[in-house]
Chain A
Amino acid sequence: MSVALSAQDITRALTRISHEILEKNQGSTNIVLLGIPTRGAHLATRISSIISSIEGTDVPTGTLDITLFRDDLRMRPPRAIMPTKIPTSGIEGKDVVLIDDVLFSGRTIRAALDALGEIGRPRTVQLAALVDRGHRELPIKADFIGKNLPTSKSQSVKVLLSEIDGRDEVSIEEGVE
């Protein structure tokens, strides 16, 4: 196991991502942040508080569970469905930023785009990921990346966040698959 991002690295990456989101969208007025549970939701909360400390206004932040839209449901045991909380302002005509911890095959994001389509029609959809580990199976690309982490498919990337795991850390583990 090797540590790829320390707690400080994660904080710096999230701060940079927050600035990049603001830069790309020219402020926070039309932004909605949606985290993909579980860890993406916590990252969304952190980015939201960083943005509001920079801009001085709160950014609508919610969660988007994509379990029911996955295309690999049959390959795994049933997963628990996590809450979806869309901010009251809705997503219609907004610039939605999806936030996830690890970008890998891209299938989660495909499912998230389907899930968003059921809720409304955002003006744009952007994607922020703490780690991009490559091996995409679909034509999907992140707009904001914390760190590009070259990995082999047999390895696994483990993201720990203090909200649920007690500490912040991203590490690469050799897989046994």
Chain B
Amino acid sequence: MRHLLSISDLNKSEAISILDTASELARVSDGAVKKLPTLRGRTIVNLFAEDSTRTRISFEAAAKRLSADVINFSAKGSSLSKGESLKDTAMTLQAMGADAVVIRHPASGAAQRLAENHWMSGSVVNAGDGTHEHPSQALLDAFTIRKHLGMGGSDLVGINVAIVGDILHSRVARSNVLLLSMLGAKITLVAPPTLLPVGIHNWPATVSYDFDSVIPHVDVVMMLRVQQERMSDLFFPNAREYSRYFGLNGERMAAMKKGAIVMHPGPMNRGLEISAEVADSARSVITEQVTNGVSVRMAILYVLLAGGALEVGSN
């Protein structure tokens, strides 16, 4: 495997092996010395053309724990804001000898374009492209679910997941639907019809417009952020109405199954899709998702970069 652009690049056993690798690497993060020499001498560029806290810091921490050199590169303060094209940026990175580029970009398909145009020879990791995919987030979500609810197995068979909210704009939802269904989980998408994409019935998931009827039957409630920056249209009458029908509050949380967990990829709009009471409750694994993110991203970088040049591309 050379790039990680989409969950569809992975088959089930590859996905499970990334999760297994991550759980071994998690032990490193728990240890006294949080550093491994594995990627010494490799350069990883974080190319973030869109704002991000968690993902960028998480990839940076992951790369540093594996002893790689990290160059952070964000749109603000770089020539991207002067209008430099992705191609020119990529060729600059190539000239500097980047072994991998972690890219976050507002345009869907940006990572694929970077990987497939031979502008650069390194690996490309998609850290979120427009409304398309966010594979590392899905992997860390699967890792978190498996850690909490996995019945000792390596996959997620028998687990019911509700993904709730702005499915239309959510790359997290797309990657999660692909990955969690591949791992055997049953997925229900809950959203107002206006926030569901065209062709939703071809996704490996069921759709519901009634959050309350779904809640008692699921093991995981994954809330999505209402992405106001991507909303050019009026998708729901007002925030209060959205919150009433599709927000997770204390009342709805009380109806959840025993042992069921609440997830959110962050950043949260407290009071809109999730109430503070729920976000800070014992059911919430939201900060743990962040912790697991580092281990999972270490595993991704290990799988993409630790192997030798001979095997690159041969999978």
Contact = CB atoms under 8 A, between A and B. Distances in A.
Interface string B299-315: 00011001111110000
Interface stretch (A48-56, A65-73, A143-151, A156-164): A65-73
A68 B31 CA distance: 15
B26 to A, nearest CB: 11
Contact of A74 (B20, B24, B27, B307): B307
Main secondary structure, interface of B, reads: helix
Contacts of B17: 80
A69 B37 contact: yes
A78 B311 CA distance: 9
Interface string B43-84: 000000000000000000000001000000000000000000
A81 B24 contact: yes
Interface in A112-169: 114, 118-119
B240 to A, nearest CB: 49
A2 B309 CA distance: 35
B308 A73 contact: yes
Contacts of A83: 24
Contacts of B21: 80-81
Contacts of A78: 302-303, 306-307, 311
Nearest to A120: B32
A15 interface: no
Contacts of A76: 307-308, 311
A73 B38 contact: yes
A68 B36 contact: yes
Contacts of B31: 118-119
A1 interface: no
Interface string B15-39: 0010011001101100101011110
B37 A114 contact: yes
Nearest to B27: A84
A142 to B, nearest CB: 24
Nearest to A119: B31
Nearest to A78: B307
A119 B27 CA distance: 11
A176 interface: no
Contacts of A118: 31, 33, 35-36
A68 B27 CA distance: 13
A82 B302 contact: no
Contacts of A80: 17, 20-21
Contacts of B20: 80-81
B24 A84 contact: yes
A83 to B, nearest CB: 6
Given A68-B38, A69-B36, A69-B38, A75 B308 contact: yes
A114 B302 CA distance: 18
A81 B35 CA distance: 16
A138 B196 CA distance: 61
17 contacts: A68-B36, A68-B37, A68-B66, A69-B36, A73-B38, A73-B307, A73-B308, A74-B308, A75-B308, A75-B310, A76-B307, A77-B308, A78-B302, A78-B306, A81-B21, A81-B24, A118-B33
Interface of B: 17, 20-21, 24-25, 27-28, 31, 33, 35-38, 66, 302-303, 306-311
Given A69-B37, A119-B31, 4 more contacts: A68-B66, A78-B303, A81-B20, A84-B27
What 8 A-B pairs have minimum CB-CB distances, sorted nearest first? A78-B307, A77-B311, A81-B24, A74-B308, A68-B38, A68-B36, A75-B308, A77-B307
